[in-house]
């Protein structure tokens, strides 16, 4: 399907080219009579290679926006172009392929499978990408090494601290080398040391050319990004660049 | 994700949820083993009774006095319907009844046997020398009645093995004297053990010449009449010809012109078997019903566990979708999981069913016949239920938007 120009992203845009283009994209939840517009019609462009933070109080629509960006949910109106192709026109299988190859997710609740050791969690996206077993294991171990957990690869999530679990989740998100990394309050459940670790990892990935969208409601976390978009009641209320990259994430290297 | 990967994933999931997997397999196991045991009991009973009927003798016709009721009207020609020694003798005629191989007229009554202070009440059978051949019985020790014993009214008796043991214990009974209803008689042989049959315990009886039984032991009205004539046909093929010959000869002997209204009944082994089979068939049907209920109960257990576990795992489905699983891959994963559980439970059920059949059969002394078709059906039903309720909810969850599945509690 990669030869079909209308179908999913076949190439990743170069740095500076638009990766994400929202035009009048909104999301309304309906439950019976009740309608909640979690995201008002929004127009937003994110270029390849950007490190964007989305901020806003609880309930302002940050997660809703990220779910749309990650193709985990479908927008109610407007268009969403990811690397040039219109996500709304893609089939379920094509969306699955995009989630698998182009996007890496880091969730606030880690979302690791408790029954599997760390390396099996990390290799999971590769299973769905059809990568061979030996290569999967190699790449999973390499990703764990990169997040400083090489010696924890056989531990189950229950045997790891919150910070370690989130690093496993980051390893899982980066193992497919996706163009876009989406993190929804990845440090929301972490102490400050672990927060620094995870932000350090994100900054490293950004330096390596990945586009990162980080959701947070904490200023010092958002400080890691080079652009900050603020939401309020589902509407973008400010969008500015965040030039000096100072803050927590540069505090130290990733511990091993 | 190819099939082999999917099988591995399914297998891992089965291992990861040990308790749930064990319970599911237990449900399947119980259903299958219950079906195997209950249906096996019914079939076993059928086989036993069939074997007992066949042990009566081979190619046997049993002639008894009186007619079976036909259309509610009792047959017979008014006079007391009886069979006589003359009837039996006529049946031995090679010209008239060429397909008859042996004829054993019998009279049978309870009688008291005594030897040196030991008393034993048993069934005294008066018959002729053909009896052992017709009834397919052999003699362990000594000999059976001879033609001379019958014609010469010899005071000799052949004892069943139980009877001999009751009267003489471990000692050799042959040559000893026993009084049969007050008449002293010499034991000439002991019958081989024959087990029990629909005609009673084959090992507890005393067989004497019919002439002696009629004149000296039973006396009175018994003289000249017989209760049952056992007729053996030359072969299985000759059975219906023999049936014909016996029937027309007896009709002639009894001067009955209407062949639809005889004053005797000829029962074949097949007709006894048919009756027995209809009884054991009903038994098997009842047992199968019970088995079906256990299968249903096991199936509901499997259904519950499957439904609960899939519901529990909707978040997992959401996560897998977020990581790139298509609905098809999710469906396959749950299909394989359910199939692994079903097959493992099914195989365990068959093993337990076979082992349980052997053990129970030993314990209760009844054969249990494992029925392949019932086993297959039970396997199909319980695995089918597992598949249905393992895959259907999962495939519904696989169609949800990933975020809805991820957010589900
Ligand atoms: N599945 C849903 N059904 C109905 N309303 C929802 C659903 N998800 C979110 N909402 C509502 O949408 C609004 C935005 O939610 P969300 O995007 O999760 O906010 P944030 O992540 O900024 O805290 C909230 O008012 C929330 O109640
Ligand atoms: Mg949120």
CB of A128 closer than 6 angstroms to any ligand 1 atom = no
Phi, psi (rounded to 5 degrees) for A20: -120, 130
If pLDDT is split at 50, 70 and 90, which confidence band does A112 have? very high
Residue A256: is its pLDDT beyond 70? no
Beta bridge pairs of residue A42: A25
In this structure, the number of other CB atoms found within 10 A of the CB of residue B11 comes to 14
Question: Which SS3 state, helix, strand or coil, does residue B178 take?
Answer: strand
Residues contacting B304, CB < 8 A, separation 6+ = none
Q: Which tokens go with A75?
A: 């927008």
Asked if A65 and A39 count as a contact pair (C-beta separation under 8 A), the reply is: yes
Q: Among candidates A136, A122, A123, A128, which has minimal Cα distance to A167?
A: A122
> What pLDDT shows up at residue B221?
61
SS (H, E, C) chain A: CCCCCCCCCCCCCCCCCEEEEEEEEEEEEEECCEEEEEEEEEEEEEECCCEEEEECCCCCCHHHHHHHHCCCCCCCEEEEEECCEEHHHCCHHHHHHHHHHCEEEECCCCCCCCCCCHHHHHHHHHHHCCCCHHHHHHHHHHHHHHCCCHHHCCCCHHHCCHHHHHHHHHHHHHCCCCCEEEEECCCCCCCHHHHHHHHHHHHHHHHCCCEEEEECCCHHHHCCCCEEEEEECCEEEEEEECCCCCCHHHCCCCCC
Residue A251: is its pLDDT beyond 70? no
CB of A125 closer than 6 angstroms to any ligand 1 atom = no
> What pLDDT shows up at residue A253?
43
Burial class of residue B117 (count of CB atoms within 10 Å of its CB; 0-12, 13-18, 19+): exposed
pLDDT, average across residues B114-143: 89
Probe target for ligand 1 pocket from A32, A37, A58, A59, with the most ligand atoms within 8 Å of CB: A59
> What pLDDT shows up at residue A54?
96
Backbone region of residue A49 per phi and psi (left: phi > 0; alpha: psi in -120 to 50; beta: other values): left
Residue of B nearest to A131 (CA): B1
CATH number of the domain located at residue range(s) A20-253 in this protein: 3.40.50.300
CB distance B323–A93 less than 8 Å?
no
Contacts of A105 in chain B (CB under 8 A): 322-323
> What pLDDT shows up at residue B197?
66
* Ion ligand 2 neighbours, Cβ < 5 Å: A 63
Cα–Cα distance, B367 to B46 (Å, whole number): 9
Element housing B305 (H / E): helix B269-312
More confident residue, B365 or A9: B365
In this structure, the number of other CB atoms found within 10 A of the CB of residue B78 comes to 6
Tell me the CA–centroid distance for residue B393 and ligand 2, in Å.
28
Backbone region of residue B61 per phi and psi (left: phi > 0; alpha: psi in -120 to 50; beta: other values): beta
Tell me the CA–centroid distance for residue A230 and ligand 1, in Å.
16
Report DSSP state, residue B193: P
Element housing B207 (H / E): strand B205-209
Beta bridge pairs of residue A36: A29
Nearest chain B Cα distance for residue A67, angstroms: 7
Is the C-alpha dihedral spanning A225, A226, A231, A235 positive or negative? Answer: negative
Residue A245: is its pLDDT beyond 70? no
Q: Among candidates B330, B346, B305, which has minimal Cα distance to B20?
A: B305
Chain B interface, Cβ < 8 Å to A: 1-2, 5, 9, 12-13, 16-17, 315-316, 319-329, 401-404, 406
Q: Which tokens go with B73?
A: 């009207």
More confident residue, A119 or B211: A119
- CA distances (Å), origin B11, targets A1, A32, A115, B372: 31, 40, 12, 28
Tell me the CA–centroid distance for residue A38 and ligand 1, in Å.
6
The residue among B322, B397, B406 with the most chain A CBs within 10 A of its CB, best to mutate, is B322
> What pLDDT shows up at residue A175?
95
A62 contact B CB<8A: no
∠ CA B201-B203-B207 to the nearest 5 degrees?
105
Is the C-alpha dihedral spanning A125, A127, A130, A136 positive or negative? Answer: positive
More confident residue, B46 or B190: B190
CB of A63 closer than 6 angstroms to any ligand 1 atom = yes
- Give the count of Cβ contacts less than 8 A between chain A and B: 65
Q: Using only C-alpha atoms, what is the Rg of chain A?
A: 18
Residue of A nearest to B318 (CA): A72
CB distance A111–B329 less than 8 Å?
no
In this structure, the number of other CB atoms found within 10 A of the CB of residue B192 comes to 16
Residue of A nearest to B399 (CA): A92
> What pLDDT shows up at residue B195?
66
> What pLDDT shows up at residue B1?
62
> What pLDDT shows up at residue B73?
46
Beta bridge pairs of residue B110: B123
Contacts of A96 in chain B (CB under 8 A): 321, 324-326
pLDDT in tens, B371-387: 898 889 888 888 888 88
Element housing B249 (H / E): helix B239-253
Q: Which tokens go with B74?
A: 């009792």
Residue B298: is its pLDDT beyond 60? yes
> What pLDDT shows up at residue A234?
94
Question: Which SS3 state, helix, strand or coil, does residue B176 take?
Answer: coil
If pLDDT is split at 50, 70 and 90, which confidence band does A44 have? very high
Nearest chain B Cα distance for residue A99, angstroms: 5
Q: Which tokens go with A63?
A: 């997660």
Dihedral (C-alpha) B169, B170, B174, B178: value to the nearest 10 degrees? -10
Cα–Cα distance, B55 to B123 (Å, whole number): 19
- CA distances (Å), origin A61, targets A46, A110, B81: 18, 20, 103
Tell me the CA–centroid distance for residue A61 and ligand 1, in Å.
6
Q: pTM, whole model, 2 decimals?
A: 0.71
pLDDT, average across residues A137-161: 95
Contacts of B329 in chain A (CB under 8 A): 128
CB distance B326–A105 less than 8 Å?
no
CB distance B5–A92 less than 8 Å?
no
Q: Among candidates B211, B212, B157, B162, which has minimal Cα distance to B188?
A: B157
> What pLDDT shows up at residue A254?
45
Residue B72: is its pLDDT beyond 90? no
In this structure, the number of other CB atoms found within 10 A of the CB of residue A240 comes to 9
A91 contact B CB<8A: no
More confident residue, A52 or B297: A52
pLDDT in tens, A169-219: 999 999 999 999 999 999 988 899 999 989 999 999 999 999 999 999 889
Phi, psi (rounded to 5 degrees) for B399: -90, -10
Q: Locate the domains of chain A by residue range.
A: 20-253
Residue of B nearest to A93 (CA): B326
> Of A73, A128, A133, which is closest to B324 when you measure between CB atoms?
A128
CB distance A113–B316 less than 8 Å?
yes
What percent of chain B lies above the pLDDT cut of 90? 20
Cα–Cα distance, B69 to B81 (Å, whole number): 14
CB distance A129–B404 less than 8 Å?
no
Q: What is the mean pLDDT of chain B?
A: 85
Q: Which tokens go with A127?
A: 């299973």
Tell me the CA–centroid distance for residue A230 and ligand 2, in Å.
13
Residue B127: is its pLDDT beyond 90? yes
Asked if B127 and B207 count as a contact pair (C-beta separation under 8 A), the reply is: yes
């Amino acid at each position: 399907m990669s030869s079909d120009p209308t179908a999913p992203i076949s190439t990743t845009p170069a740095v500076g080219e638009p990766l994400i283009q929202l035009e009048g994209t909104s999301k309304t939840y309906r439950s019976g009579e009740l309608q909640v517009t979690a995201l008002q019609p929004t127009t937003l462009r994110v270029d390849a290679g950007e490190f964007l933070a989305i901020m806003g109080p609880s309930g302002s629509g940050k997660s809703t926006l990220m779910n749309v960006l990650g193709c985990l949910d479908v927008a109610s109106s407007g268009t969403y172009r990811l690397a040039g192709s219109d996500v709304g026109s893609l089939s379920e299988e094509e969306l699955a392929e995009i989630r698998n190859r182009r996007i890496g997710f880091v969730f606030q609740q880690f979302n690791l499978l408790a029954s599997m050791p760390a390396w099996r969690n990390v290799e999971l996206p590769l299973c769905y990408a059809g990568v061979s077993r030996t290569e999967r294991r190699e790449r999973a171990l390499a990703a764990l090494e990169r997040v400083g957990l090489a010696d924890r690869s056989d531990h189950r999530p229950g045997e790891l601290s919150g910070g370690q679990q989130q690093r496993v989740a980051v390893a899982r998100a980066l193992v497919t080398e996706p163009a876009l990394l989406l993190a929804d309050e990845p440090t929301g459940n972490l102490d400050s040391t672990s927060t620094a670790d995870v932000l350090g990892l994100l900054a490293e990935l950004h330096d390596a050319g990945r586009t990162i969208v980080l959701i947070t409601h904490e200023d010092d976390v958002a400080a890691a990004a080079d652009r900050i978009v603020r939401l309020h009641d589902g509407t973008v209320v400010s969008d500015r660049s965040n030039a000096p990259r100072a803050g927590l994430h540069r505090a130290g290297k990733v511990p091993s | 994700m190819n099939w082999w990967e999917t099988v591995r994933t399914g297998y891992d999931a089965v291992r990861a949820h040990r308790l749930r997997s064990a319970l599911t397999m237990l449900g399947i196991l119980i259903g299958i083993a219950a079906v195997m045991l209950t249906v096996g009991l019914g079939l076993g009973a059928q086989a036993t009774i069939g074997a007992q009927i066949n042990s009566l003798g081979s190619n046997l016709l049993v002639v008894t006095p009186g007619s079976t009721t036909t259309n509610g009207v009792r047959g017979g020609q008014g006079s007391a319907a009886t069979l006589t020694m003359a009837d039996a003798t006529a049946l031995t005629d090679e010209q008239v009844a060429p397909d008859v191989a042996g004829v054993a007229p019998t009279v049978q009554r309870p009688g008291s046997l005594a030897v040196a202070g030991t008393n034993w009440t048993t069934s005294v059978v008066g018959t002729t020398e053909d009896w052992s051949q017709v009834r397919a019985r052999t003699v362990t020790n000594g000999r059976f009645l001879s033609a001379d014993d019958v014609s010469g009214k010899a005071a000799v008796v052949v004892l069943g093995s139980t009877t001999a043991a009751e009267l003489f214990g471990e000692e050799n009974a042959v040559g000893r004297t026993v009084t049969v209803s007050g008449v002293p008689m010499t034991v000439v042989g002991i019958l081989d053990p024959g087990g029990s049959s629909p005609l009673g315990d084959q090992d507890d009886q005393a067989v004497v010449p019919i002439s002696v039984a009629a004149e000296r032991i039973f006396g009175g009205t018994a003289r000249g009449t017989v209760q049952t004539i056992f007729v053996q046909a030359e072969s299985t093929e000759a059975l219906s010809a023999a049936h014909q010959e016996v029937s027309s000869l007896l009709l002639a002997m009894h001067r009955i012109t209407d062949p639809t209204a005889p004053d005797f009944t000829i029962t074949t082994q097949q007709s006894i078997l048919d009756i027995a089979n209809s009884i054991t068939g009903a038994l098997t049907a009842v047992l199968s019903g019970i088995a079906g209920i256990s299968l249903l109960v096991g199936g509901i257990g499997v259904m519950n566990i499957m439904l609960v576990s899939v519901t529990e795992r909707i978040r997992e489905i959401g996560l897998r979708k977020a990581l790139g699983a298509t609905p098809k891959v999710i469906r396959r994963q749950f299909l394989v999981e359910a199939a692994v559980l079903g097959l493992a439970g099914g195989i365990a059920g068959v093993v337990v069913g076979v082992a349980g059949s052997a053990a129970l059969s030993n314990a209760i002394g009844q054969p249990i016949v494992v029925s392949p078709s019932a086993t297959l059906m039970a396997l199909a039903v319980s695995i089918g239920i597992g598949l249905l309720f393992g895959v259907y909810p999962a495939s519904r969850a696989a169609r949800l938007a990933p975020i809805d599945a991820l957010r589900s509690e």
